[in-house]
Chains A and B, each alone.
Chain A
């Protein structure tokens, strides 16, 4: 069995499972945020549930529009706070106390290897970076889990993605995943699990791995995951936790295996309006931009801020461009202050904002006007994603975003790399 199959078998108390089988699994962690949470609570009550199944297995994390930008948004949070109090949920991260949910699940060790993590958000698959089987669901499904602790799954077949070679800065794991999505396509892994492995992955930090698993859903995948190793072990050790984990069998059946050589992958970019419209940065170099965004659950981590700062340090961003920086969590924000990254970013002209999802989905803090163009480290470039219907989003790595902010146009980060 593959890692996904083993986790699903364990969680449904079966010896074996195979692709296509329907299993009902015990859920180890359920995440709600302030947008999908209130509807889940409403449906939870509508079904007739009174008490959540296990309060210690529920995490409520505010992240989409924090601090709230209008009264409706504030009302959503107020409603969720009441639910958290009533149900005595302790894993609750309010404004200024947490950050982007997908970051928090991994950073705080809430998502464990070989566990099933369900979140009412499509990028929940990010937690696969520590070897969890992590999937996004809607509010009604989340409501059923709140009450029962269970969810049915169709066991997915697994696609294996082997990444060999070495990822050399300023190329990052973002360029790797964009290259992978460009090849597999936006629906190429539909309903499937994607397992990342290989030499290049084993050398990546947990943060860099999260960028890979985060975007698994952009190829249609049910989840993306990475088998735990020494890096995973050390991550949990730093949280004073020891871990046990499952591994894929050596004779596991993969539906397909794709091999990539990271040494041959340069800076990549996804052009509007599809995530799989991937090309080399040099193919679109010179296109004017109005805004550059460094942040999101894809790329708001300390390694992302570091590489961007290395490019921006001592330089000024182009006078026509706004650069928005949203660290993915308060912890990363603080670390970036301690490492003096924030000071250097602000000196370069960046607007450093509160950890939240805002700009990525055109919700708050950096919404685009008509015809504006943004280069972003986030994960979606659909029509109107970051603002006006006529605005455009290019997806790229933190290094490419930083380089483009300096140039005022899409730029290859190798131009600014010493």
Chain B
């Protein structure tokens, strides 16, 4: 699988200009059920390969959520994600304080706590790093 060639097609069915807009923006803000559909890990892998560092959404499709965390891509839930951000806003994410700050609008939004072991997996850069260090569950 070639993630960089797949990355050329990110979200094209949803918005053909998405890939271009992603060059400047590293955080995706979304509404409900982000990642709905297949179990393919290619979905978060390709987003990561295209430079996405975090996705903040109202909620995620379950398998996408686990896949994202397992490959070390932050998938964070917050109730009013889509109304709190505009495209191009500067964002700072503090996972330990469970907080997303919109620096442009100067607002703080709390994010839902990630259960363990999801948080440790994310901090280890994904499940591979987590299991390599820990050796087991």
**Are B36 and A36 in contact, with the CB atoms below 8 A?**
no
Instruction: Say whether B59 contacts A389, CB under 8 Å.
Output: no
Q: Does A187 contact B (CB under 8 A)?
A: yes
Whether B33 contacts A122 by the Cβ 8 Å rule is no
* Size range of the chain A interface in the assembly: 35 or more
Which candidate, B48-56, B63-71, B85-93, B96-104, is the interface stretch facing chain A? B63-71
Distance between Cα atoms of A220 and B132 in the complex (Å): 31
List chain B residues, Cβ under 8 A from A139.
41
Q: Which residue of A lies closest to B121 (CB)?
A: A152
Is A147 interfacial (CB 8 A cutoff)? Answer: yes
Is A365 engaged at the interface, CB distance under 8 Å to the other chain?
no
Chain B 19-63 near chain A by CB (<8 Å), digits 1 or 0: 000000000000011001111110000000000000000010111
- Indicate if the CB atoms of A137 and B39 lie closer than 8 Å: yes
Residue of B with least CB distance to A72: B1
Closest to B33 in A: A187
Contact A22–B70 (Cβ < 8 Å): no
B106 at the interface (CB under 8 A from A): no
* Inter-chain contacts of B38 with A (CB < 8 A): 122, 361
A380 within 8 A of B: yes
Q: Is A39 an interface residue (CB 8 A)?
A: yes
Residues of chain A lying within 8 A (CB to CB) of residue B63: 122, 136-138
Measured between alpha carbons, how far is A384 from B136 in the docked complex, in Å?
40
Partner of A220, one of B41, B61, B71, B115: B61
Closest CB-CB distance, A112 to chain B, in whole Å? 22
- Is A150's beta carbon under 8 Å from chain B? yes
- B128 to A186, Cβ gap below 8 A? no
Interface residues of A in 130-151 (CB under 8 A from B): 136-141, 143-144, 147-148, 150
- Bound-state Cα–Cα, A35 to B41, Å: 11
Q: Which of B36, B62, B137 contacts A186 (CB 8 A)?
A: B36
Given A136-B63, A152-B117, A220-B33 in contact, is the A43-B136 Cβ separation under 8 Å?
no
Chain B residues closer than 8 Å to A392, beta-carbon distance: none
Cβ-based interface call for A292 (8 A): no
The answer to whether the Cβ of B116 comes within 8 Å of any Cβ in the partner chain is yes
Residue on B with the closest CB to A383? B13
**Contact with A46, one of B14, B66, B117, B128 (Cβ below 8 angstroms):** B128
Considering the chains assembled together, what is the distance between the CA atoms of A39 and B70 in angstroms? 13
Cβ 8 A contact of B66, one of A121, A137, A384: A137
Report A-chain residues with C-beta under 8 Å of the C-beta of B131. Answer: 47, 144, 147-148
**A190 within 8 Å of B by Cβ?**
yes
Contact with B along A89-115 (1 / 0, CB 8 A): 000000000000000000000000000
User: What's the minimum C-beta distance from B58 to chain A, rounded to whole angstroms?
Assistant: 9
CA distance A389 to B128 in the complex (A): 35
B128 in contact with A24 (CB, 8 Å): no
Question: Is there contact, CB below 8 Å, between B61 and A190?
Answer: yes
User: Contact between A120 and B39 (Cβ–Cβ < 8 Å)?
Assistant: yes
Enumerate chain B residues within 8 angstroms of A47, measured Cβ to Cβ: 128, 131-132
Task: Give A48's nearest chain B residue, CB to CB.
Answer: B132
B127 at the interface (CB under 8 A from A): yes
Given contacts A138-B63, A140-B70, A148-B131, 11 further A-B contacts (CB under 8 A): A24-B137, A36-B41, A43-B127, A46-B128, A47-B128, A136-B39, A138-B66, A152-B117, A186-B33, A220-B62, A389-B13
